[in-house]
Amino acid sequence: MTTKTGTLNMTRSRRMTALVVAAAAVLTGTGVVTASAASAAEQSKAFGSAAHDSAMRDVAKHVLAIGAPGYMARINDGDRVAITAAGVADRATGRRLTGREQFEIGSNTKTFVATLVLQMVDRGQLDLDAPVSKYLPGVVPNGENITVRMLLNHTSGLFSYTSDPDFFANLQKDPQHVVTERELLDVAFKHEPNFAPGKGWSYSNTNYTLAGMILQELTGKRLPQLVQERIARPLGLRQTYLADPRATNTGPGYAHGYAVKFGETPRTYTDISDLPIGGWGGAAGAVISTQKDLSRFLSAVLGAELFSREQLKQMKTTIALPAGTGIEGSYGLGLFKIDSPCGTVWGHGGDTLGHHSTAVASADGRRTAVSDTTVEPSDTEENDGVNRYYEVAFAAEYVTICEMFDKPVPAAVIQALHGTSTSTPTSAAAK
């Protein structure tokens, strides 16, 4: 649930046990499947391009080679849909990944929460430029000078609880503990703000914890209920929900996530699928979904199906990202604008303790690319294995974007994917 640089910082302090992967040997018999769709309707629109198949097989091969148990991607170019799936959805049973599975979408959740907030604005029940103290009196230090908009676009300056050096180490002591919102805020508020409200940009999960609290305070409903009533049901997203506090069914039809220390030999994989992400992730990153549902949601957001055109304009009013974020682009209200080598996309990404996912779309929402890698480093120090993981993960994101736009993949991205580049590409979407 961080940017690229934030993820690397988190790996130094965060991960639970050897917690979002047999190494290269996993490639044997994994069964990379491309150009297959999840329904008869999608099958009729599946990509027939051999070049596309080759590009996505190459991505899957290299993602599994770095040690991921599974990789999947769903690309819609506006006319056709193609699904790539490789590896296993569950290491314990050997169940193959199909690309239809539910998975933890991490900070893609933020787009859901921002959508709920903008719906409240349309109803006249919330003002983006009102201070947080109006809705949560006495909760946030300096809350009278921090607006709701600042929470959504990460200009509040509030410290992110996941950046606390002891946060994930403390979770490790009792992995099944359901962290409360109050506990998250206590961690965040013991740190000084990163800057004065509105005077900078800094990705902070604390912002979305507070946005979720405001929604619940104003509606009298819990966030899982709001996600169902105001997003999932209207769009027919039958496999999308906010974990409360855990995923409700991690059997067949679910992609398990794994944490691994890439700096250890042999590597140990820890299945994190039964952990209460609804506690520590909450409004910042606890939605469970599928690639198809996430694609439908993002298209609906960019098509203003869930709120007015005025609110879409607000969502797409962005703040330039500062140097050092590892991303070329800007941030709106729960939505990144990413300037990729193959074109501008809108969306988000998500890192949990066992998943690395990205969901992006063209400006009109007609083209989408969603992907998930079912592993996340739990290393506390940077090492060659972790660096290679991010190099491949970010290159894979760019390949899916280029395929979405039907454009050639730049040579530098291919070199990064193959491990022959001299530098690591930046992330296509923040987490």
Mean pLDDT by 10 residues, the chain (431 residues): 39 28 22 41 40 88 97 95 97 98 98 98 98 98 98 98 95 95 98 98 98 98 98 98 97 97 94 97 98 98 98 98 87 97 96 98 98 96 94 96 96 94 52 50
Residues 97/194, Cβ–Cβ less than 8 Å: no
> What stretches of 135-281 adopt beta strand conformation (E)?
241-242, 258-260, 269-271
Instruction: Kindly state the helix (H) or strand (E) to which residue 402 belongs, with its residue range.
Output: helix 384-404
In whole angstroms, what is the distance from residue 126 CA to residue 277 CA? 28
**How many residues are given for the chain?**
431
Q: Is 107 tagged catalytic?
A: yes
In whole angstroms, what is the distance from residue 11 CA to residue 381 CA? 7
| Three-state secondary structure call for residue 224 | helix
- CB count within 10 Å of CB 93 equals 11
Strand-pairing partners, residue 169, are: none
Domains of the chain: 4-418 (3.40.710.10)
The angle subtended at Cα 334 by Cα 330 and Cα 340, nearest 5°, is 35
Residue 279, both tokens: 């506690």
| Three-state secondary structure call for residue 226 | helix
- pLDDT score, position 422: 60
Residue indicated by tokens 């506690």: 279
List C-alpha distances in Å: 175 to 12, 93, 273.
18, 23, 12
pLDDT digits (tens, 9 = 90+) for 394-412: 999 999 999 999 999 999 9
Catalytic residue among 39, 107, 133, 202: 107
- CB count within 10 Å of CB 133 equals 16
Residues 144/244, Cβ–Cβ less than 8 Å: no
Residue indicated by tokens 């290491």: 91
- pLDDT score, position 251: 95
In whole angstroms, what is the distance from residue 342 CA to residue 340 CA? 5
Residues 103/89, Cβ–Cβ less than 8 Å: no
Residues 413/399, Cβ–Cβ less than 8 Å: yes
In whole angstroms, what is the distance from residue 419 CA to residue 279 CA? 37
Helices (H), 243-383: 277-280, 282-285, 291-302, 309-315
In whole angstroms, what is the distance from residue 98 CA to residue 257 CA? 15
- pLDDT score, position 427: 52
Residue 176, both tokens: 């099944």
| Three-state secondary structure call for residue 156 | coil
